[in-house]
Amino acid sequence: MNTKDSILNIARETIALESVSIGNLATLLDADFADAVELIYHSKGRVIITGIGKSAIIATKIVATLNSTGTPAVFMHAADAIHGDLGLILEDDVVICISKSGNTPEIKVLVPLIKSAKNKMIAITGSKDSFLGTQADYVLNTYVAKEACPNNLAPTTSTTAQLVIGDALAVCLLDLRGFSSKDFAKYHPGGALGKKLYLRVQDMSSVNKKPKVHLETDVKQVIMEITESMLGVTAVVENNKIVGIITDGDLRRMLSKADSFSGLKAKDIMSSNPKSIAEDAMAVDAMEVMEKFGISQLLVEKDGDYAGVVHLHDLIKEGII
């Protein structure tokens, strides 16, 4: 077997082993999981998540997921906790301790301190009979038969299981809270994801020029209006109502058909009934209209009046496309 085949086989075996272990997690779920979700949901405090080693890294990811889906969470490293960071835990906080074995020295020191403060504690562990498992109020079982590591030592399958249980917690809490895409947008204002959820057409069209001509505007002025706006388009309006549109394409078609454009008016070359969109529509809605009709500009309306233009380039610039 060549080296590439060997690498691919090992990768496939790793994925297969981890997928079987993850699938088995569903059979390990019990009433403790549901009770833990309800405890967090009804809590007046935050979720404090702690761990050591690789479990600490998983804890930080679960914290991030909870925070972004409406459940306030804070990471506390187990080693730092016993050297001063226990002050992070407030009276109404729920503590989640993550540990594969449930018997690490830091966990054995930390758990009694948490219990003495009377905070409710949830264990995410692969050993229900461990010190952590027996001391916690609720145990979320993440037992795995074998690590993907060929020596069965490096945390691989076990940390994946912890991560999946964390995701399951977050999704259940999200559902209980009725967390919507609008709520999600509040926590994700940056980047393309956030913009898809909150960016509106007017946020882009308001910074563009608003090219417009009238039915009787001569073609030379039409060309100047399109050129000056740098949007490749102008609206044709009457009483500030959209009656047509003229694009660069319309001008090219005109030049290919006529030897002279002297005497031609906007009404002679415009396209009637152009596609338009309300300025308070979402930017993603504008993208869908452009994709559906194969166009690169949309005229924008506010309360039925012409309000500007949104261009495909605006969507690209904002990362919507």
Amino acid identity, position 194:
G
- SS3 track for 48-117: EEEECCHHHHHHHHHHHHHHHCCCCEEEEEHHHHCCCHHHHCCCCCEEEEEECCCCCHHHHHHHHHHHHC
Tracing tokens 């690789």 back to the chain, one arrives at 54
| CB-CB contact of 78 with 52 (8 Å) | yes
Q: At what angle do helices 219-229 and 248-257 cross, to 10 degrees?
A: 150
Distances (CA, A) of 108 to 36, 60, 81, 245: 21, 21, 12, 73
Dist. CA 138–CA 247, nearest whole Å: 65
| CB-CB contact of 297 with 316 (8 Å) | no
Q: Torsion angle of alpha carbons 112, 114, 119, 123, nearest 10°?
A: -80
- Tell me if residue 299 falls in helix, strand or coil: strand
188 is in an annotated binding site: no
- The two three-digit tokens of residue 3, written as one number: 């080296």
Binding site: residue ranges? Answer: 77
Binding site for Zn(2+): residue ranges? Answer: 77
